[in-house]
Structure 1
């Protein structure tokens, strides 16, 4: 049998055979730390005389009984699937099996808290890991009811999709929780979270008059840091907004939100039992960007209760229907019904830039992607599915109207509640509600790939009066589709009396085809800055003309509003990323203007992109000087920031990453002694780790210092930081140890492996990691074949050779030329990393060819 990689064809065939299911799942979590027992009873109908299989990734199968007949487990089970022959019209399957606990963030994950030795469990099933906890027909369109019975230590909290029942004593210190059956749902949104979690509760009244109980859960060692008031407030605001917009009450019995350890994603939309990554519990001061991102994530998962859980895609090619919708709705809810009214600026800075980058990769795909099998969908949780899809939905809402869009959703939810749908089902309801034909829109926006670029073509006379204004629309190599766009063109001038960049004129129009004339702008004086896609109405990259770019270089921080500034930031980065403008200019732009940025996410994104430019895009002949100057500028930004501000915190962390000269490293060393710390900055536990990692990477601290820090902070967060620090030790022995742990042995749990990979490339001497470029291509296929998806993807992406040269591009191509075609997921990841290397090579060439290279502080290199 094909094993774990279920194909769409297999799923469709099985859906023709199997229907009307219910599960009773009895789990015993008391036996040992490696495995647990599952007794699963499945009732289902089938076409008489047909055969099928049920998915079950097991340690062992003790018995299989189908319709009262015992089947030989050795004959029907291979550890991944159980064959079910000669089905009847009505069937009952009973499987007794032993299942593995996982430490990869997949299936039923088991974690031991180093603080108190307590065991914590949680499930993570998307895309197809329910089968790691109990046998199941693992596909989204075979919805069923699920009734869980859990035997566990009596002092534990046990949480699932339904309200937690009173436990029944089984023996000394052991109890059983018998949950009521769930509504009909897809298996991947079922959930089990168990352990000595602490909780706090609240409630709200739903639009249909029900009282919905709210719960917040976290490990004992983190519970004191949880911001329950903020979490409950955002949750209630989300309930209020969604119920009013959708016209459908919250569909489940209760709503718990649980922070769980070693989580692979931001959160997961388990019906009524949402899990979150623990980094959303802030034990130290966070960037405001992270606080806002948490609010968006809370609202994103809540939106899934309707779009994804109540109504679910039939197969994973419509994954975007879940994720794009939730991303759009969470931003809309944030902007219209919370204190984070600047959410669309944050969206431009963070999500949309992700979408643009993903859409330009050689592996880009239509929003509505064809997904042949599970391996393909596992790498499809990307910037197209989330960010581009949400951007395009925003355009659609602007076109049909928010009221009409929500009316269409109301009809959609009402017609398809508790069932599965495809894109056409949604389009029918939106067309009916809006009166618009969406056929052409859907074809060009949802069924084609690539991002268009809009370029202003401006001509003016000697007096600066515009004589011609055209917008040129460019396609993308391999994806030439030109699309209709509703955009605004804004004119901005720098006012000497206020020192601000102020919008002086705006025109809104439809752009379609290769050229669009804008006669409304002819006869007007050419402004200091022309901004295409002003107000961010469309999904398209924009270019700045030469005059506008010069204005941006000098006055980007002077915009009166944050949204146009974010659009110009994005245009500047796109120009560097596309190999049009030199990276040195971008570095100067960021360092000269980021101190004036008011949006925390925009600051965070610019600093992240600054790191990319400094590490990969600079011409080698002056790269080191620009990096040194950049660190000088970052420290100046720290000193100029308001004490205790978000800016100060972000610039300080950036300085720790970029410090590279002896003097800069000595300044960091002073921080470790409590010397020279700027007023307003607290050297809390996480910040002390950041200081230590910087010193380790520079060779100033070592293994003994890491061990001492871990003794002081013997927590999971401390273990993650220690993994990064240990991998960053700049010796051949430390790099070899990290490679052995991660690649050869797979000895680290998921969160620590990810941290070690980050530390592996942290340092000032590329020669230490250069020998591992060839080893990557020699060993990554074996990793892909033998590890679970999450661990394998971390390695395939994170350990791709860091040195961006043509040799790296060529080595990747040779690898791809010889890669087994069956490894489609690995092929995609390597193609994407190869593209990043190719872009870096091109960017270095553009930077080298720039006529007047200067350092980050504006001086000539070396001066």
Structure 2
């Protein structure tokens, strides 16, 4: 019963002046009370509120008690007269453990309890009765009955009534949080984390504050509209399914961004990018909101572009663009080749319901959308781009807007044909290929595709010594580069456009021989993306100076090995990851991450676990434990000792993975029984067990579970979109034969939940 586009349009035409007065009582531990007063004006007729599976329900309409024909998802409001109405819905609802609704979590470190409303598409109805759609933005007033010792945070400062916001971006978090608070430019700000993470928050508080203020100050310069909300809290919350969520004035972050132990430069850079990303949403998503989910890219592409750019240029994290080129853009290219690809900006009718919208929060809307916006800025110039953006924000503040609205503003700000550009870049799926050929010794650039490109092309000697670079435009006509005759050339050297590269043999040989010695890490990132294979990894990874590029190359290789795109040559990968004597700790950590999943040297892993060599932070330690268990060199008693040694929620998951990874029939049976038999299993625990269940070296042992997985997955996926995504991501991480994949193809010919279908189709498309 996902909301359809037609239903949303009809309801939006009927209603106006919506507001919510919400009272929550979270003092009980089994379920919670949700009482909401919904006020609205209507032109008359019938509509409905959404409310998901209330345990009890009491409804009044304009003061009169009614007994609606509630079906577990919708409360009918029939025969409404024209004018203002007030509906009160008093319900008891279940807490959740899957991150979709009012999530409850008990910290194993100290036994403290936390609750948090993790909302999103079709999820606000799991917290209170509402008109659960984007274009019925409304002010929300909140009161919360909770333990008086708890901190309670929401979208408004001290629970003040919000401006009109989309209800899917409402949040409330409560528990014994540890807080760091201050004020900046008159706005109360804070960072918050569980009490057991107080030391980690205090360790990073100075940097978190500096990055927050740097991003805030940058947006104050580039946006005409001031910061739209009365406070800005940022909260590390337990078991969030997303990396972060842009709730107005109260952003929630996955706790992985507050790591225990070592914090690498990549950790810090990624966190700064996410802080910048989510803050930009205060304007793009929260101040100005799409009308329907076909324009989700307006939120996510813009925020992803701003996240990397602002982290790089304003927050001081050099290398953010490198991380995007190496770690995010390759996934966007891969996604654009699948049957599930779609235009960055699809038509509204191509997103017929919210389930379809859920599937568009993908590498197209994020990675490709970011890259496409960077190309737009390169093509039209940053000054004109920001002028158009500001006109758009000013014109639609606290309202809803479409792609057409944005294009009107950009077209007015630029002498270029922005609508024509959007027609080929935003309205079409797929991407172009830029090829290097030779006319004699002269490099020639050609384009396979339909899009205009503006990018930097760089020239190098055969030993990859830089010779020069320049910005070029490439369209339908070949572009000769006679001044660089006899040289290797790299188109799109700084990643300004979104196109695959095909180098000529001379340039390709130079890259194969000398990639790691090329001085510019951004150009190296572009080339690692374009040229990665097992041979390049073996030759160049040991000399690659950037931990970011090492990790990205290893992650891509692991993906390809597991899906049979590359041979499972783990010994080759392990040899490339040797870290003995590595003086650079950051490089050593990146290489150790690859070594932990590829090596079969149990004696070496045992020595690492005992404290020899590079000190193991919790993430690396659990990776080593996982691999030792997978190789049959760590028994249940030793894994339990590691769990007790860790003592945290992360340790509980690490132990679950290690136990499931043991090469015994009993271990696999126990993992599968818990994955499929526990109706309250959390998303994170399900994924942890699946990570241990499938192993490249255990094909015979796990083969019986391939068919079982296909049979059980549809029912498991119907628990909700987050759980469906977890089930889809738990697809057997093994090279599989055509015969082994046939049950998946057969299931795809039947009725499957939309999210699961998307994951399975993508899995098939990623395999040779």
TM-score, scaled to structure 1: 0.86
Kept in 2, the 8 Å contact 1:773–1:801? The answer is: no
In structure 2, the residue corresponding to 1:564 is in which secondary structure? helix
1:182 aligns with 2:185: no
Measure, in 2, the Cα distance between the counterparts of 1:596 and 1:203. 46
Pick from 591, 603, 610: which aligns with 1:651?
Answer: 591
1:718 paired with 2:651, answer: yes
* Residue in structure 1 matched with residue 704 of structure 2 by the alignment: 771
3-state SS in 2 of match to 1:764:
helix
The answer for the alignment partner of 2:520 in structure 1 is 561
Query: Are residues 1:733 and 2:673 paired?
Result: no
Looking at structure 1, the residues matched to 417 and 174 of structure 2 have their Cα atoms a distance apart, in angstroms, of 49
Distance (whole Å) between structure 2 residues aligned to residue 599 and residue 9 of structure 1: 50
The RMSD of aligned alpha carbons is: 1.8
Larger Rg belongs to: 1
Determine the C-alpha separation between the residues in 2 that align with 1:824 and 1:223: 40
Contact 2:24 2:34 in 1 (8 A): yes
1:373 aligns with 2:369: no
The question of whether the paired residues in 2 share the 8 Å contact of 1:54 and 1:137 is answered with yes
Instruction: Look up the SS of the partner of 1:222 in the other structure.
Output: helix
How many Å apart are 1:295 and its aligned residue?
Answer: 0.6
**Aligned-partner Cα distance in 2 for 1:245–1:201:** 26
* Residue 290 of structure 1: how far off its partner (Å): 2.2
Deviation string, structure 1 residues 785-818 (Cα, Å, up to 9, x no partner) = 3x1211122112313462332224433322222x
Are positions 1:321 and 2:298 aligned together?
Answer: yes
Give the C-alpha shift of residue 747 in structure 1.
4.2
Aligned counterpart, 2:78: 85
2:546 corresponds in structure 1 to: 599
Question: For each residue in 1:592-626, what CA deviation from the matched residue of structure 2 results, as whole angstroms up to 9, or x when unmatched?
Answer: 22243343322211011222344444776xx5xx4
Partner residue, 1:843: none
User: Which whole-Å deviations, capped at 9, do the CAs of 1:633-674 have from their partners, x for residues lacking one?
Assistant: 322xx124215x1100111121111112xxx11111222333
Match of 2:115 in 1: 121
Tell me, yes or no, if structure 1 residue 670 matches structure 2 residue 607. yes
1:6 Cα deviation (Å)? Answer: 0.9
| 1:218-617 → structure 2 map (5 Å cutoff) | 218-226=193-201, 227-369=204-346, 370-460=350-440, 465-466=441-442, 469-475=443-449, 482-494=450-462, 501-513=464-476, 516-519=477-480, 521-522=481-482, 524-527=484-487, 529-573=488-532, 586-617=533-564
* Cα pair distance change 1:632/1:336, threshold 3 Å: closer
Aligned to 1:67: 62
Deviation of 1:705 (Å): 1.5
Which of 136, 147, 154 is 1:142 aligned to? Answer: 136
Give the Cα–Cα distance (whole angstroms) in 1 for the partners of residues 470 and 187 of structure 2.
47
Report the secondary structure of 1:305's partner residue.
coil
Deviations 1:130-176 (A, max 9, x none): 11111010001001110001001110000111112xxxxxxxxxxxx
Paired residues of 1:107 and 1:132 also in contact (CA < 8 A): yes
Query: Contact 1:697–1:763 at 8 Å: present in 2 too?
Result: no
CA positional deviation for 1:510: 2.2
Between the two proteins, the alignment pairs up a number of residues equal to 762
Matched, 1:133 2:127: yes
Which residue is 2:176 aligned to?
A: 196
Residues 483 and 684 of structure 1: CA distance in aligned 2, closer, same or farther (over 3 Å): closer
- CA distance in 1: counterparts of 2:308 and 2:673, whole angstroms: 42
Residues 523/224 of structure 1: CA separation in 2 closer, same or farther (3 Å cut): closer
User: Is this contact kept in 2: 1:248–1:413, CA < 8 A?
Assistant: yes
Alignment match, 1:700: 633
Quickly say closer, same or farther: Cα 1:549–1:808, change in 2 above 3 A. Answer: farther
Question: Which runs of 4 or more aligned residues in structure 1 lie more than 6 Å from their structure 2 counterparts after TM superposition?
Answer: none
Matched, 1:639 2:589: no
| Deviating more after overlay: 309-318 vs 536-545 | 536-545
**How big is the shift at 1:337?**
1.1
Contact 2:24–2:32 under 8 Å retained in 1? yes
Measure, in 2, the Cα distance between the counterparts of 1:836 and 1:451: 17
Given candidates 17, 20, 32, the residue that maps to 1:36 is: 32
Q: Is the Cα–Cα contact under 8 Å of residues 587 and 613 in structure 1 kept in the other structure?
A: no
Q: In structure 2, the residue corresponding to 1:409 is in which secondary structure?
A: helix
- Whole-Å separation in 2 of the counterparts to 1:163 and 1:615: 47
TM-score by length of 2: 0.96
Change in Cα spacing, 1:615 to 1:76, as seen in structure 2 (3 Å) is closer
Q: 1:20 aligns with which of 17, 20, 41?
A: 17
Aligned to 1:9: 6
The corresponding residue for 1:217 is 192
In 1: Cα distance, 2:565 partner to 2:383 partner? 48
Secondary structure of 1:368's aligned partner: coil
* Conservation of the 8 A alpha-carbon contact between 1:263 and 1:751: no
User: Could you say if the C-alpha distance between residues 293 and 523 of structure 1 is closer, same or farther in structure 2, counting changes exceeding 3 Å?
Assistant: closer
2:270–2:320 CA contact under 8 A, matched in 1: no
Question: Structure 2: 5+ residue runs without aligned partners?
Answer: none
CA contact (8 A) 1:728 1:762 kept: yes
Q: Per the alignment, do residues 446 and 618 of structure 1 end up closer, same or farther by CA in structure 2, a change over 3 Å counting?
A: closer
1:695 counterpart SS class: helix
The offset of 1:507, in angstroms, is: 4.3
Structure 1 residue 524, shift from structure 2 partner = 4.5
Deviation at 1:435, TM superposition (A): 2.9
d(CA) in 2 for partners of 1:524 and 1:152?
70
Paired residues of 2:180 and 2:192 also in contact (CA < 8 A): yes
Distance 1:503 1:216 in 2: 44
The correspondence for 1:98, drawn from 85, 92, 95, is 92
User: Residues 797 and 615 from structure 1, CA distance in 2 versus in 1: closer, same or farther, beyond 3 angstroms?
Assistant: closer
CA 1:392/1:619 → structure 2, altered by over 3 Å: closer, same or farther? Answer: closer
Report the Cα distance in structure 1 between the residues aligned to 2:411 and 2:309, rounded to whole angstroms: 21
Provide closer, same or farther for how the CA distance between residues 612 and 775 of structure 1 changes in structure 2, counting only shifts above 3 A: same
User: What is the CA–CA distance in structure 2 between the aligned matches of 1:594 and 1:193, rounded to whole Å?
Assistant: 43
- Quick check: 2:224–2:394 contact (8 Å CA) kept in 1? no
Q: CA deviation at 1:398?
A: 1.3
Structure 1 residue 13: Cα displacement: 0.8
